[in-house]
Amino acid sequence: MSHDLTPTLVSFQAATEGFRAGTDSPRDFLERAIDKLEAAEPTLKAFAALAIPRARIVADGASLRWKEGRPVSRIDGMPIGIKDIIETFDMPMGLGSPTASGFQPVRDAAVVHALRDSGAAIVGKTKTTEFAGSYATDTRNPHDPTRTSGGSSAGSASAVGAGILPVALGTQVIGSTLRPASFCGAFGFKPTLGAINRGGSHDFQSHSCIGVIGASLADIWFTTHEMVQRAGGDPGAMGLIGKAELAAPAKPGKLILLQTPAWDDATASAREQLLATVSTMSAAGVQILSRDNHEGVAKFETALLEVMDLALDIVGYESRWPLKSVAYRDRDGLSPSVLTRIKLSDELGLDGYRALLTRRAAMREAFETLAREADAFITLGATGAAPKGIQWTGNPMFNVPASVLGAPALSLPVYEDEGMPLGLQLMGAQHTDERLFAIANYVMAR
């Protein structure tokens, strides 16, 4: 068996015609994934646990159904990876921390159950940084194993970017889905806050959500839609709004160029590529609003100067549990970065936290007002290529706004920097997820 390890995205949706025709099958698709996994995993270290025997049984059932023209869903038999902070009843839960050693959930997370119900073949748990925070895991970037895959959804981005899996689940509360997707050359989707049910996922912070990393817009949209139809959104939330079909390409009338406080931290090449896209769009008749020509954008860019501190303080306070509970039981199992975070957040206190919530609400209101003036925001997926080394998961500054604002965002693998992938990011008002896919489809078609 020859193993081509060139990282090439592998779409399940592109293969479904073959499943119907009988020239390919989900089982064959899975075996190709397993071959690639076995060849690449010793280098990539993307997986925390595997469930291949069960995945093969599931793929066999789906193979029959596709051939008979009656798949249970668009993702029937699709191999998928689950970030290891999301519970599955059949694999241990590692949380990227030795303190979780031996923890075996007795249930599937809501999305995992929904995926099984959709016929998806769960291949394994993908590695995460410690409690989805900043302390890195040992996962490598498929485009250059001497570099980080980003974090915290490290294994999911690496496995999709390497062409092992068509889709893997992540989570994002700072930049944990979009940044690794950008670094690993995959598509990344961080939906509207509450759009995907987080039950059984250990990302419990108030602006966290489940993210989807995939080989194409179609792979991501169908996976998300199938999950949400079955599991709903977070309790009390409307869930992802949109039709079952992938939105057709739609040229935006107006886009807002968002430079963010990290503009000067982006590489020259990254900035040039984004500005070139903006110029092309402009030439095609898309009106571009930016801080240079629109007062509202300039004002919002200024408001964003505090977005990272706001995010870190809110997430820090909300993460004291379970981290303090873990520290009580097994302090030596926690990284110095977590112990420092606990200390700082304790000093904030409940009144300090309440003040942060008020500031976040004000920032969201300003964002939603500005968002009504255009179809979407356009920015970078990251400051540049994945950093060298695996100790630092990279600068999340371009991803924080969508997190704090509860806004949907997509990272599209269309740029490159230092010979590595780099994403173009689209972001929109809450609940405009579907329109964002339509615009992304337009961008990708060009």
Contact positions vs a second copy (CB under 8 A)? 89, 99-100, 102-103, 106-110, 112-113, 116-117, 197, 199-200, 204-207, 228-229, 231-232, 234-236, 238-239, 317-318, 320-322, 324-326, 328-329, 350, 353-354, 357
Contacts of 53 (CB under 8 A, 6+ apart): none
Query: Shortest distance, CB of residue 205 to a second copy, whole angstroms?
Result: 5
For a second copy, the closer of residues 255 and 311 by Cβ is: 311
Residue 157 backbone dihedrals phi, psi, to 5 degrees = -65, -40
Query: Shortest distance, CB of residue 423 to a second copy, whole angstroms?
Result: 28
For a second copy, the closer of residues 99 and 139 by Cβ is: 99
In angstroms, the CA 376 to CA 50 distance is 39
Residue 73 backbone dihedrals phi, psi, to 5 degrees = -165, 175
For a second copy, the closer of residues 18 and 105 by Cβ is: 105
Query: Shortest distance, CB of residue 354 to a second copy, whole angstroms?
Result: 5
Query: Shortest distance, CB of residue 411 to a second copy, whole angstroms?
Result: 25
* DSSP secondary structure letters along 355-390: HHHHHHHHHHHHHHHHHTTSSEEEEESSSSSPPBBS
- Beta strands at 209-214 and 187-190: parallel, antiparallel or unpaired: antiparallel
In angstroms, the CA 336 to CA 151 distance is 18
For a second copy, the closer of residues 261 and 322 by Cβ is: 322
Query: Shortest distance, CB of residue 204 to a second copy, whole angstroms?
Result: 6
In angstroms, the CA 387 to CA 134 distance is 14
Residues in the chain: 446
For a second copy, the closer of residues 94 and 423 by Cβ is: 94
Query: Shortest distance, CB of residue 330 to a second copy, whole angstroms?
Result: 9
For a second copy, the closer of residues 30 and 240 by Cβ is: 240
Contacts of 70 (CB under 8 A, 6+ apart): none
